[in-house]
Homo-oligomer: A and B are copies of this chain.
Amino acid sequence: MPERLLVVGGDAAGMSAASQARRRRPAAALEVIAFERGGHTSYSACGIPYLIGGLVEELDDLVARTPEVFRDRFQIDARIGHEVIGIDTKNRRVRVREIQSGTEYQEAYDQLVVATGAEPRRPPIPGIEAEGIHGVQTLDDAVSVERSLEGGARRAVIVGAGYIGLEMAEAFVLRGLDVTLVEQAPQPMTTLDLEMGELVADALREIGVGLRLGEEVEGFDVVEGRVRSVEAGGGSIPADLVVLGTGTRPASGLAEEAGIPIGPTGGVRTDARMRTEVPGVWAAGDCVETFHRVSRKPVAIALGTHANKQGRVAGINLGGGYATFPGVVGTAVSKICSVEVARTGLNESEAEAAGFAFGSVVVESSTRAGYYPGAEKMTVKLIAELQTGRLLGAQIVGAEGAAKRIDVIATALWNEMTVDEIQGMDLSYAPPFSPVWDPVLIAARKAQERAEDGWTDAP
């Protein structure tokens, strides 16, 4: 009889694990069943803002593989509309509810992958459950936002100016809505330092987004079950539609109830091979915590690319191979219309929390040679350890072509390079692509000059 692998959660991490395990072990050796409570498998949640903004035409475009594909091409039984409601790790069984019928049943496993994803943080604000207030985590959320738009929504309020909030602001602007963004911090994008966040604020204002910074949402005005306005900063903002961009947390409740150890971040704890501390139970994706290679501390970062990699690692190991997930350095990228934003490593407050003594530089340069058409402004911030000059983190805000340079810095960070080492690197140069000194090199050079001067503020 084949071994049986059950997967809880049918998105990036879960289905990567399932596919990789299958690649290495045929159906005769390994039976694979995946349970997904939603209506879709393996979709790009990161694509939802572009679907709503009209840049992506069909919801189906965001689905990489349907349950039919998994069944026919991979012999994986992917059951949508099936929610795992309990895990019995002692007897290696899960309890499943078929959502439509309410029927419950049990399935036994030899190996289990927990890939339950993230869930939106819903601040305990009165009225937050009203109609017209949406998360944007799942394709089902996307459908309900679209329904609001087609129902004639004209004024959108977004609560929280993180990545999702900003991408949804762009989407609504593209759809012609009046958009207001409410953020309790004094800047959008709090994963950036203040001066870099202010560049993002400028970009938002430029595309006509109303910015209410430093304001907390106190409540929602709800009429007949539907939101009519958002109360914030002592005033009221009319809203036909509200989106919550207030972040997510690991959806680790199911694992926790089953006694699977949870880390300090709220994510399921795993080793580098994605094994939990419970025999036969693995975990991957937004529900786990991972290792930050700069702070050397656990972090929970919900991001499709990590979920894919972690799922793949779990699947290779489940299939009899050997793979490890090496942790993260906190790289992220986004755009608001023509302004690109990226970061990696630690920002100033994170560096402080991690106990580093550090200095920083902010350098403005150009995406291309100054004389080449389309050369536009980009700003790079580097943070480096005082005693050694080792790079700790970076942030970029700029025009087209700016943000992907964060990957060069992430690679340098991964290798624990100093700013002195970085400034000498052989990065590509041609006028359509870069000034003769790439902006990354210019920033490293300035940081090294500051380091040589002992990071004094002398002119």
Q: Which residues of A contact B (CB under 8 A)?
A: 12, 44, 46-47, 50, 55-56, 61-62, 163, 293, 303-306, 308-309, 321, 324-335, 340, 342, 344, 369, 371-373, 401, 403-408, 410-412, 414-415, 417, 421, 424-434, 436-438, 440, 452
Contact = CB atoms under 8 A, between A and B. Distances in A.
B372 A55 contact: yes
Given A44-B369, A47-B431, A436-B305, A425 B411 contact: yes
Contacts of A304: 429, 436
Contacts of A305: 426-427, 429, 436-438
29 contacts: A12-B436, A46-B429, A47-B369, A50-B372, A50-B432, A55-B373, A56-B372, A56-B373, A304-B436, A305-B426, A305-B427, A305-B438, A309-B437, A321-B452, A326-B425, A327-B426, A331-B427, A332-B430, A335-B430, A403-B428, A404-B428, A404-B434, A406-B428, A408-B408, A408-B411, A410-B425, A410-B426, A410-B428, A411-B411
B426 A330 contact: yes
A434 B335 CA distance: 12
Contacts of A434: 333, 404
Contact of A426 (B321, B328, B429, B431): B328
A433 B404 contact: yes
Contacts of A425: 326, 410-411, 414
B407 A438 contact: yes
B334 A436 contact: no
Given A44-B436, A329-B426, 17 more contacts: A44-B431, A50-B371, A50-B432, A55-B373, A293-B426, A304-B436, A309-B437, A321-B452, A324-B424, A328-B426, A330-B426, A331-B427, A334-B430, A335-B430, A335-B433, A406-B428, A407-B438
A291 to B, nearest CB: 11
Nearest to A404: B433
Nearest to A329: B426
Closest 10 CB pairs of A and B: A333-B428, A305-B429, A415-B415, A61-B371, A411-B411, A326-B424, A407-B427, A328-B426, A407-B408, A331-B426
